[in-house]
Amino acid sequence: MVILLAAALAAAPEAAVVIRPVANMYSKPSADVDVVSQAICSSHVGILEKQGAWFKIRTADDYTGWTAASNLRILQAGEKPYAASGRVGEVRNLFAHIYREPSVTKRAPLLTVPFETRLEITAEPEREDGRWLQTRLPDGRFAWVQRGDLDFAPRKLSIPEMLELSQRFLGLPYTWGGTSSFGYDCSGFTQMLCRRRGILMPRDAGPQCRWEGNRPVEKSELQPGDLLYFGPSPQKITHTGIYMGDGRFIHATTHLIPVIQISQLSDPHWTKLLVACRRPQ
């Protein structure tokens, strides 16, 4: 699916790849307005509009927003999309340091990329431990990454595996518009976890709740992996999380402590706001 999407973007009038660890997407071509979403390093995006040093882009989940031109590298006509073929590793840890040379001690990291970043591997030197791999970054530079940071055969997770993965993110900061391990917002977090199951949901909580791929379920019938939606009314969804079982759910929230955390559905704050439960098909 990633390869098909990348190919489609490359065939569009203009496409680009994100070259920064995380690219903020704004509601207008300015850094002085609200962030609507993000695109992580190695993501392919379509270019919809240009305005000065700003591009309006469309991400793989069909979300649009403005980002600084410096966050992107425009793909040339006929150029193969980055990390769509060949030896490709996906960052499996919360973050991965990228180095100028195969050493963690000689120089500071060149950059640090988030979970799910895809990297082209260009060389695997024969060394005793096989620890270091050479990568070509999306901006064309060559650098080094440690093998232990990458997964070369990512697979769809079961619900128990997804819930286990979710707990690795506990304590990460809540970030409005966030879609990376540098900080998620509520819907960015649930979208990512469902994506690890092979389920491609809309970006925002309201559209997720209304999405045809989510089946309504009663609160009394909740099972681990079900999605919870909160708000003042079913027509105004403002928050989401994932049910873990035993009355607990995991979510990115600003309530009390602004981090990814596990809460209780029996908490009066959440009980009064729960307006919908969904089960991805």
The set of catalytic residues is 186, 239, 251
Buried/exposed code over 222-252 (b: 16+ C-beta within 10 A; e: otherwise): beebbbbbbbeeeeebebbbbbbeeeebbbb
Is there a contact between 225 and 201 (Cβ–Cβ < 8 Å)?
no
The residue type found at 219 is K
114 closest CA partner among 131, 98, 135, 91: 91
Of 114, 112, 100, give the one whose Cα is nearest residue 144. Answer: 100
Distance CA 39, CA 62 (A): 12
